[in-house]
Chains A and B, each alone.
Chain A
Amino acid sequence: MNTNAIEIRGLKKSYGPGFQLGPLDLDVPRGAIYGLIGPNGAGKTTALDLVLGLGKNDAGEIRVFGLDHGREGVAIKRRTGYVGPELNFSAWNRVGRALRFVRGFYPDWDDAYCAELMKAFQLSPGDRIATLSFGAKTKLSLLLALAHRPELLILDEPTTGLDAVSKQQIFGELLKVVESGERTVLISSHGLSDLERFADHVALIKNGRLMLQGRMDEVVERFRLADFFLPNGRGLPNGAALTVLKHEGDRWQAVLDMQAGATERLRGLEAQQLALAPLTLEDLFVALVREKEGV
């Protein structure tokens, strides 16, 4: 049995000259909660869409549960649940109608679990979709995605616009879903502090390229925020191991990739008063994504 729920090799997708995703290589292990992060327009939604089979890739290969979208797209979707910010159910007017509609597509729809989720999310079949709050609509979307107990859950910014309580509730439900270890969650989110607590793997995409990926603890552990002085007005170019955040006179602040020999490089430059501090995922994201101030 394949240990990865999703395997992506050499994936490429372009939309005109303005945007190109990839080449992208990514492995999402079964049972993992995999966070996909990146700035707006990085290609996260495009990547998630391609994983779900919305649109064709220009090059490369995506296998979900070892299946290929070209031949077994419907089978993949039957084992997958999707929540995204652009979904709209208003054509079905009432929650009950939307449920009845979606239920018809999934032979393994779990009515008892659906009822349980409805109670937890405080939704009822008679609720009018147009009058639901933003948070309730997201919960409905999640309910529709979860009620057939999918093996893979793809969540595209599911908590955008939600208050703290709703976020907690949604993440709580997601944790219940994955606690058996058999279900996989691929989630893109701008709520990095939530993601840091929730996800066990993370990948960062910028301008369509994968900048880093790995286990969450390893990724966070790998980088350090460094504060140091460089004597004699010496310059410090950005490199693979070091990203300069700012400098004032001789004082510098940078993010160091500890696995790439950043400290050795600083020692070679005779850096003084070197102080290292751990980074949160959010700090790391800001440091790696923002325009670099290399000198």
Chain B
Amino acid sequence: MNRIVWDHVRRWWWVWLAVNGYVIYGVLVVATGKDRTDWTRTFMPLALFLGGAQLSADLGRGDIPRLLRTLPVTAREVGRAWWWASVGLPALVSGVVTAVTLGVAVLVSRVPVSVPGGVCYWLTNALWFGPWFLVAVFSPRGADKGWKNGRQRMGVARCLFTVVFMLGMMVILMFFYRLVPPYSVRWDIFLVVAAGMSVASWFRAEAFAAETLGAVKTNTETARATAESLEVLDQFVDRHVRPLTGGQHLARSAEGYGGLRLLFESIYLPMISLGAFMVMLMGVMLCWGVRRSGYDADFMGVFFSFMCLLVWLPFIVVLPRILSQMRWLRTLPISSTQLAGVVICAPVAATLTLLGLDELIMVLIRSGAGYVPLAPLYWGCLVELTLPMVLVPLVVWRGADAVVLVTVVGLMLVLCVANWPTQTVTLSPGENAGVALLVVLGSFALTKGLLERGSRVYRGQTP
């Protein structure tokens, strides 16, 4: 069991390093900061990056379970190893890091240090590892087709569970600053629920490991599982969104540009569908928060942080599917300029549409109550929202390798959570738009150059 745990840590050491580095930052801000807006922004759900997320990545690739099947270990050992690697150890390590940070801060800091605040910061994060792991191991592996046999039933259960989990995370994010002493909400309920789910995940782990190791784990199975999970989104787009654009009845055009439009739509529509769902959900949360406690600058900060995540997530879910097929796309009769243009412009257009939707919701909710329309434009948001485009040439160049993953995590940490441009860069709306345009044009030029450079650049990147 220990070998499996240490192997996990060795393979993902860079994530552990990055996340625990962020823990130091978060603990210091919460324990020594005065501004509650800062506190809110330090709340990055660590479990999104460490623990269950890595287990899901390992299971998605399929190599680790395939190897474990051949080794002399029991399902119980594997399940418990996965639990320790995903729940126990991340919580313990982040706890030690928190304790050391608080200790050093108490010794050297000239401002008062709130030890309960720091502990609360750690606890609020550490308790997410269990629920997130439970989400990752909730669905059975290798279930047969059909409602009765499990696959569809568990698919629905997984979706519901994920939605409930995401809602819970949003609530915590919105009210995080109220969990920090002096407490203004009863967070013992959260503590009990999260602890209960962590314990439940311990018992689920063994059964999950047995199902996983027993199921046929081939690349086809992995591809099938991925395709199934994304198909829900595709079916929704096909049935409800594409008819609105006329794409469903697309005739072949004389110039062959019908395909180009479909390619654009294949990126834009799923991003919009997924993003709009999340933005609306966030809007409901915001409405609820505003009704309960009135307009609060903290809400704006939280909303803005989350808005960036809402744009990132559709980008990360949708675009790699298209980019991983670059070799095939290059064989189609499209010039490198057109192809680079579509893979850059479609996500930019989707991002701007989502930004417009965000703005609409903000205006509707806060109309006449102090919200300055187009305020995000003054916060460097265009730069922040267009920076993901640099990932397009990066993925075209390298596929989904470790460098790309590190860049994604790094950018998300710096931009979405710490709101680096918002916090440190003061740009006028014009400058903001200018820098964003440069980012987009630079990404386009790089992508085009890479597409033309040689087929080896994007050869063998299929998942």
* Residues of A bordering B, CB below 8 Å: 13, 15, 45-46, 49-50, 52, 54-56, 73-75, 77-78, 82, 84, 86-93, 97, 100-107, 109, 128-131
Contacts and interface: CB of A to CB of B under 8 A. Distances in A.
B462 A86 contact: yes
A46 B250 CA distance: 35
A82 B333 CA distance: 11
Interface stretch (B227-235, B298-306, B357-365, B402-410): B227-235
Contacts of B228: 130
A186 B227 CA distance: 33
A129 B335 contact: no
17 contacts: A15-B454, A45-B459, A55-B455, A77-B333, A87-B331, A88-B463, A91-B325, A97-B238, A101-B263, A103-B258, A105-B256, A105-B258, A105-B260, A105-B332, A105-B334, A106-B252, A131-B220
B253 A104 contact: yes
A15 B266 contact: no
Given A56-B453, A90-B227, A130-B226, A84 B335 contact: no
B196 interface: no
Contacts of B401: none
B97 interface: no
B259 A77 contact: no
B460 interface: yes
B223 interface: yes
Interface bracket on B: 35 or more
A46 B224 CA distance: 30
B327 A87 contact: yes
A16 to B, nearest CB: 10
**Residues of B contacting A: mostly:** helix
Given A86-B462, A91-B325, 18 more contacts: A50-B455, A54-B330, A56-B453, A56-B454, A73-B336, A78-B256, A84-B331, A89-B328, A90-B325, A97-B234, A104-B250, A104-B257, A105-B332, A106-B333, A107-B253, A128-B224, A130-B220, A131-B220
Contact of B335 (A52, A74, A131): A74
Contacts of A55: 452-457
Given A54-B455, A84-B327, A107-B253, A93 B223 contact: no
B198 interface: no
A92 B328 CA distance: 12
B324 interface: yes
Contact of B259 (A49, A50, A73, A105): A105
Contacts of A97: 234, 238
Contacts of B240: none
A82 B453 contact: no
A107 B252 contact: yes
